Structure 1
């Protein structure tokens, strides 16, 4: 077996096989068949026009070209290097854009006008399934409109970081910019911040409503202006609190205490516990009584007993778990928490606002139902499914035994008959495709228009009924070709339909996509009609 045949025919066969092996390693060349017969060599297959020339590769192969008979069919290889060359030739990217191969993707980076970016996006959508993805997310739009939008967003972001300014809404339309929100009179002037923002002030339309910010720096300025602290008192911001330190007469301390009580909930606490007064014991007793009065005014808290003894304070009673925390109410009262001894027993208060909270937690009403307190009754108004109405009526009976009135007489049963009729029409609609295509033909345009109108109508009616609609777009393919390619095509078809419906005004968050490949055929694959019917995108309606 180790004796080598050195006959001319055997040597020629060896060189031919070496040449064929070399061809097999060339990107863009697929050898389909090769054979030798009567001293002649025959080879056929597929070759990308951008691949190496098989005839040129014969050079140096020591195979007589006159004995070689080739039959090459041209095709477009999906090898990234060939796709890159074709994209470069067709798109002619500007010098500011670089195209390169990163792993199995072709990535474009740099800056380009929006016209070139639009062409690149179109090319990315037209690439064959199974080939490399064309990623243009790193190309920056340098058209004047995009630059103006960038400057505007930078200005809006800068406003958003300014204390005392709340941007409620902002938009750009027809070259003009619109912004509205809230602004504290002590905050920076939005008009002044336009300076250096590279945004034309004549194109900016602002609508600011004044409000009082709860930012500590603004609350501090207002406290300084209203309290006029004496020189012996210093006000400063410590963490998220405003702290007063020093010495002051009791009249000023009372005013400061009143200001602390009047500060808006959610703002910084005004801590005056470090202000020295002349009668610590009397002031401590006053603080304690103020705290007890504040507790007694809290819904869901019943003070049964309270006393002061030996510099310590004792309190006991009942507290609903939903009521204010007595320990947290100590904050800002100038009562030392270490000297307070509390004993609270839990109970369920029949205060309507606590009952409403418990009802919302247990019944979870739909958006179409509203619970409100009218005088001493809890009134439920709106539309809801029959099952939920039955649960609400059962709750009303249970509360009646406790003396709480829950009025469910204004509840109406939610009818979904109209929605169900429209759902059937939507789910009976299919978007059809030609073989191997991921974009529907022009004859599908009326179908897409009608489907978009139906989806928008269904979503709006569902919202009015207190439910949320979601639409699953499922792409399908026929059984022609490889399963992996069919799966990719089916997913691409679903994505294409989502984009087309989005262009027709269907909110993107309502549309979900999936590719089913060949696994969910509409009809058996036993005829030309069957294959055509299976190249489609179907719609499934879901309600949350």
Structure 2
């Protein structure tokens, strides 16, 4: 019968496996596991071939050959695997023949010694025949060793492997850097990247160039300075561009840079920067704001706050219009018009004067003529002082009436009284363009009154002064 149980019994009886081999049935297959000499394995292979004609599979792949030759071959393969794993060693060919072992390939001189790797493998060194050809490995660790040997970097430079590339860091003279650049170009053909960008050139010329670039960067960061061109030539430095007179002095900025001022040749063209700080300085210089006005920068806008005479506000308004054409803003909306103190005193004196009229009359009586003369002189004096202060004074003549009679008549006579006073002041030399008139009737009384008797205090023309 080809039933696996019967086949197993017959195999055990015929092959007589050693105690180190166990035969079992696994999924209708007969499996042999363990260790046996090659003579027993040969017989087991013959039985397996016979069963392949129609019986169950007889698997002897798990039986390890423990004959001396097999053990030696196993140790040899372990050694070959150890060599193949070594950086800088390439195994090209290996074989076993007549109890001897042969191996050939490529080896970097910096790689591990193949003879020393035999230690612990149980391979007899006397039976090993090696042939290694010289080659230079591109493994980063070997390239690093060769670069260190050939370039002899100064103590200030450190070579290391970073992500399969070789990186140089530190400081070195330009002569060493030139040799390192040549080595980097040679490695570009297929070796690891050799990065020397982190090595600082500490030769005198490089130091000077580095200091110069520091100075140029300092200049470029300054408001009001525009560097148009800069170069180094023959140990001298040349720079040109635009500079606002309000900007920092380029010569003063050389301090602390390590650049020799005698080797610097500068050429700066005048220009006016639109930087708000410089515009503010120019406005302060040109407008000369009074102490009551403060100019500040708020979000790139120049804002004027405080109090100022009308004339100064007008000048500031012109400056604001000019700046707007350049895309800048001078905000004068927060300025309050300031009336000079002497004008205030004159205004108060004039506004305290009233011209009085008899009941039903539109012309003042003779007693009011001296008052008119004095008032005319006050108005002319104030108009002159106002012009000198940069403002224009205007005078509102308001006619009033008492409460007797009809209101329409009262409004008419109050307006007539104002017109009369205007004419009398004009006759006394007051500019009529500065005189405005209105009739208030009984609506703005100086005092309350009995409508039957009226009040002489309400039959008047009053004066109100305004400045523009």
TM range (shorter): 0.5 to 0.7
In 2: Cα distance, 1:60 partner to 1:106 partner: 34
C-alpha offsets along residues 225-249 of structure 1, whole Å, 9 cap, x if unaligned? 2212222221111111110112222
In 2: Cα distance, 1:88 partner to 1:267 partner: 61
In structure 2, the partner of 1:215 is 275
Say yes or no: does 1:8 pair with 2:71: no
In structure 2, the partner of 1:110 is 170
Conserved? CA contact 2:144–2:159, under 8 Å? yes
In structure 1, the partner of 2:181 is 121
In structure 1, the partner of 2:151 is 91
In 1: Cα distance, 2:148 partner to 2:257 partner: 37
C-alpha offsets along residues 354-385 of structure 1, whole Å, 9 cap, x if unaligned? xxxxxxxxxxxxxxxxxxxxxxxxxxxxxxxx
Say yes or no: does 1:61 pair with 2:121: yes
Runs of 4+, deviation exceeding 4 Å: none
In 2: Cα distance, 1:149 partner to 1:129 partner: 32
2:197 aligned counterpart, secondary structure: strand
In 2: Cα distance, 1:278 partner to 1:192 partner: 43
In 1: Cα distance, 2:188 partner to 2:249 partner: 54
Conserved? CA contact 2:107–2:134, under 8 Å? yes
1:242 aligned counterpart, secondary structure: strand
In 1: Cα distance, 2:338 partner to 2:135 partner: 98
In 2: Cα distance, 1:122 partner to 1:278 partner: 78
In structure 2, the partner of 1:28 is 88
1:3 aligned counterpart, secondary structure: strand
2:277 aligned counterpart, secondary structure: helix
CA-CA distance at 1:217 after TM superposition: 1.5
1:214 aligned counterpart, secondary structure: coil
1:263 aligned counterpart, secondary structure: helix
Question: Number of residue pairs matched?
Answer: 279
C-alpha offsets along residues 271-311 of structure 1, whole Å, 9 cap, x if unaligned? 111112489xxxxxxxxxxxxxxxxxxxxxxxxxxxxxxxx
Q: Unpaired segments of 5 or more residues in structure 2?
A: 1-59, 340-468
CA-CA distance at 1:36 after TM superposition: 0.7
Q: Unpaired segments of 5 or more residues in structure 1?
A: 280-544
In 2: Cα distance, 1:204 partner to 1:278 partner: 53
1:123 aligned counterpart, secondary structure: helix
In structure 1, the partner of 2:132 is 72
In structure 2, the partner of 1:51 is 111
In structure 1, the partner of 2:332 is 272
Say yes or no: does 1:233 pair with 2:293: yes
Conserved? CA contact 1:215–1:267, under 8 Å? no
Conserved? CA contact 1:160–1:166, under 8 Å? yes
Distance 1:267 1:213, change over 3 A: farther
In 1: Cα distance, 2:75 partner to 2:84 partner: 14
Distance 1:87 1:266, change over 3 A: farther
In 2: Cα distance, 1:272 partner to 1:63 partner: 100
In 1: Cα distance, 2:235 partner to 2:161 partner: 37
In structure 1, the partner of 2:393 is none
In 2: Cα distance, 1:198 partner to 1:278 partner: 54
In structure 2, the partner of 1:252 is 312
Conserved? CA contact 2:308–2:338, under 8 Å? no
In structure 1, the partner of 2:100 is 40
CA-CA distance at 1:255 after TM superposition: 0.8
In structure 2, the partner of 1:149 is 209
1:120 aligned counterpart, secondary structure: helix
In 1: Cα distance, 2:311 partner to 2:207 partner: 59
CA-CA distance at 1:167 after TM superposition: 1.3
C-alpha offsets along residues 372-417 of structure 1, whole Å, 9 cap, x if unaligned? xxxxxxxxxxxxxxxxxxxxxxxxxxxxxxxxxxxxxxxxxxxxxx
Distance 1:42 1:159, change over 3 A: same
In structure 1, the partner of 2:399 is none
1:261 aligned counterpart, secondary structure: helix
Distance 1:267 1:154, change over 3 A: farther
Distance 1:265 1:155, change over 3 A: farther
Conserved? CA contact 1:216–1:267, under 8 Å? no
CA-CA distance at 1:265 after TM superposition: 4.0
Larger mean Cα displacement after TM superposition, 228-237 or 25-34: 228-237
